[in-house]
Chains A and B, each alone.
Chain A
Amino acid sequence: MPRIDDELSPLQLNRFQQLRHFLTIEGLSRKHLTDILDTADTFIEVGSRSIKKVPLLRGKTVANLFFEASTRTRTTFELAAKRLSADVLNINITTSATSKGESLSDMLRNLEAMAVDMFVVRHAQSGAPHFIAKSVTPRVSVINAGDGRHAHPTQAMLDMLTIRQHKHKFEGLKVAIVGDILHSRVARSQIQALNLLGAEEVRVIAPDTLLPPYIDQFGVKVFSSMKEGMRDVDVVIMLRLQKERMEGALLPSEQEFFRLYGLSQDKLALAKPDAIVMHPGPINRGVEIESAVADGPQSVILNQVTNGIAVRMAVMSMAMSGQIAELTADEEVA
C-alpha cells in the first residue's frame, strides 16, 4: 500500500504519489517518467487498429482551454482524448466570455458546474496551469499544454518516447538542443526529463542572446559553436525560432541564424552517423533546419507527431486514474 503523506506530495501528485495533474517535469521521479513512457508505448498500437479508440475515458469530459493559439498541440490533445472515448470541448478563449469581462475563475467554476473532468491548459503566462490546478475541485485534473517560457511537459515526454524508441535507453546518450533556448518552454522540460532519465550529457547550442541567464545551472553543457557542440552527439533536437517572441535585436537575421545555427547536412555530419534529428514543429524550413535534413533519413520529426497522441493519451488516463484513487480514498475516510 502506498504511504499516505499529504504534506510531502507536490501539487501534481496525489497522496499515493501517482500523477494527479501533469504540470511540469520538475518534482517527478524517474519512475514517474518511465511509467508515462511505458503506458504511452501501449497506446501506440491503438492508432493502428481499424477502430482507433479504447473506452477508458468513456463518459468523461475534457475541455481544451487554449488561451494561446496552437493548432498542432490542440489537435493532438483532442485526438488523444477522443481515442480514449472522452467527450471534448474546445473553448476558443478569444471569443469566449473571458474576453467579455468574465474572470478566469468564474469561467472555470462554470466548466466545473458542467461536470468537466479535465482541463488541458495552454497559456502565455508561466504558471497559469499551476494556478488553475490549485483552484479546481477534486473532480478535475489539469494538464499543462505549454505555459509561457516555463514548461511543456507533454512535448518533452513525446520527445523522450521518440528517443527511447530509436536509442532504446538514455544512459550513455549525448543530446544536443539547438536554437532559441531563451524562449523555449520545450527546452526547459526536455533538459529536466533527459537529466532525470539518465542521459550522459545534455548540451545546449545557441548564441548568447538566446540563452537564459544561469543556463549552466540547469545541468547542461553550453556551446556557442555548432561545430563543437554537434560533435559525436546521438540526438539533435532543433528548436523552433520563436519569431513572435523576439523583442529587440536578439538575432542579426534569419539567414545569419541559419548559417551559424541552422541544421544543414554538413553540420549533421559532425554528429554520430546514426544520430536522430528532432524538431517540435512547426518547422521554419531554411531557418532552423534545411529541408534535406528535415525530410532526410535521420529525421524522426513525424514519429514525434505520432508519439504525441500516445503520450497525451497516457498522461490523460494516468491523471484521471490518480484523480479516481484520491477520490476513492477520500470517500473511504468519510
Chain B
Amino acid sequence: MTSLIDVDAAMRDMAEKLKLLCAERNIDKPALVGIHTGGVWVARRLQSLLGWDGPVGELDISFYRDDFTRIGLNPKVKASSLPFETEGRDVVLVDDVIMSGRTIRAAMNELFDFGRPASILLVALMDVGGRDLPIQPDVVGASRRLQSNQRVKLLGPDPLAVELREKTGSS
C-alpha cells in the first residue's frame, strides 16, 4: 500500500521542529502524551527520534467526547495511562491527524483532570483542515486538504503509513 505522505520524512521533520521549539521556549524534558491509538504510535516514534527517555503517556478521550448524547459510548474504550506527574510539567500532546479540533479539546480537558500542566505543545502528524474549533498545532508533519467524502487513517505501529479512505461516518 502506498502511503499518502512520506511518514518517515514527516516524522524526522517533526522531531527537528519540536526540538527547536522546546529550545526556544526553554522546555527541558517534557512529558510526551499520545492520544489513542495513532497518537501513541506517533509519540513513541518521536521519542525514539529525539532520544528522549521515560514512558509515553496514553490518553483515551472516549469519556470526554462531546457527542455522547448523539452516539453514546465508544464500545472500544481503553483506560488512559499517565505514568508520571503532569502537575506543573510541560506536556507535548501528540495526535496522528487533526481535523475538527474536538479530539484535542477533549484531550486537553482530560489532561487537566490529572493535574494542571505548566504548558501544552500540540503535535500532529497530519493536518487535514476542516476545523470546528480554534485549535492549531504547534508542529505538523504534513498538511493536506481533503474532499468532503474523504478521511485519512494512520496504519501502524510498524511501519507507519497514512491511508486515504472514503468517509463512512462522523469523526
Main secondary structure of the interface of A (DSSP, over half): helix
Give the segment of B48-56, B64-72, B93-101 that binds chain A. Answer: B64-72
Asked whether A54 lies within 8 Å of B63 as measured between CB atoms, the reply is: yes
With a cutoff of 8 Å between Cβ atoms, the chain A residues found around residue B69 in the complex are 59, 324
Asked whether B113 lies within 8 Å of A324 as measured between CB atoms, the reply is: no
Asked whether A324 lies within 8 Å of B64 as measured between CB atoms, the reply is: no
Asked whether B60 lies within 8 Å of A42 as measured between CB atoms, the reply is: yes
Given contacts A42-B79, A324-B71, A328-B70, contact A56 B63 (CB under 8 A): yes
- How far is B109's CA from A53's CA once the two chains are assembled, in angstroms? 11
Given contacts A50-B115, A51-B113, A54-B64, contact A35 B72 (CB under 8 A): no
Check: A293 CB closer than 8 A to any chain B CB. no
Give the Cβ gap from A223 to chain B, nearest Cβ, in Å.
39
Asked whether A54 lies within 8 Å of B70 as measured between CB atoms, the reply is: no
Within the complex, which residue of B63, B70, B78 is in contact with A324, where a contact is CB–CB below 8 Å? B70
With a cutoff of 8 Å between Cβ atoms, the chain B residues found around residue A46 in the complex are 63
Given contacts A50-B87, A55-B64, contact A317 B73 (CB under 8 A): yes
- CB-based nearest A residue for B61: A54
Check: A321 CB closer than 8 A to any chain B CB. yes
- How far is B77's CA from A321's CA once the two chains are assembled, in angstroms? 13
- CB-based nearest B residue for A50: B115
Give the Cβ gap from A22 to chain B, nearest Cβ, in Å.
14
With a cutoff of 8 Å between Cβ atoms, the chain B residues found around residue A55 in the complex are 63-64, 109
The count of residues in chain B whose C-beta lies closer than 8 Å to any C-beta of chain A is: 23
Given contacts A44-B79, A49-B113, contact A321 B87 (CB under 8 A): no
Asked whether A321 lies within 8 Å of B115 as measured between CB atoms, the reply is: no
**Interface size bucket, A side?**
20 to 34
With a cutoff of 8 Å between Cβ atoms, the chain B residues found around residue A54 in the complex are 63-64, 110, 113
Asked whether A53 lies within 8 Å of B75 as measured between CB atoms, the reply is: no
Check: B84 CB closer than 8 A to any chain A CB. no
With a cutoff of 8 Å between Cβ atoms, the chain B residues found around residue A59 in the complex are 69
With a cutoff of 8 Å between Cβ atoms, the chain B residues found around residue A57 in the complex are 68
With a cutoff of 8 Å between Cβ atoms, the chain B residues found around residue A129 in the complex are none
Check: A266 CB closer than 8 A to any chain B CB. no
With a cutoff of 8 Å between Cβ atoms, the chain B residues found around residue A328 in the complex are 70-71
- How far is B75's CA from A317's CA once the two chains are assembled, in angstroms? 11
- How far is B110's CA from A39's CA once the two chains are assembled, in angstroms? 17
- How far is B72's CA from A322's CA once the two chains are assembled, in angstroms? 7
Give the Cβ gap from B72 to chain A, nearest Cβ, in Å.
3
Within the complex, which residue of A39, A41, A50, A324 is in contact with B114, where a contact is CB–CB below 8 Å? A50
Asked whether B71 lies within 8 Å of A45 as measured between CB atoms, the reply is: no
Interface contacts beyond A42-B77, A42-B78: sample of 17 additional A-B pairs, CB < 8 Å, sorted by A: A39-B73, A44-B79, A50-B115, A51-B112, A51-B114, A54-B64, A54-B110, A54-B113, A55-B63, A55-B109, A56-B64, A56-B73, A321-B73, A324-B69, A324-B70, A324-B72, A328-B71
* Residues of A in contact with B (beta carbons under 8 Å apart): 35, 39, 41-42, 44-46, 49-51, 53-57, 59, 317-318, 320-322, 324-325, 328
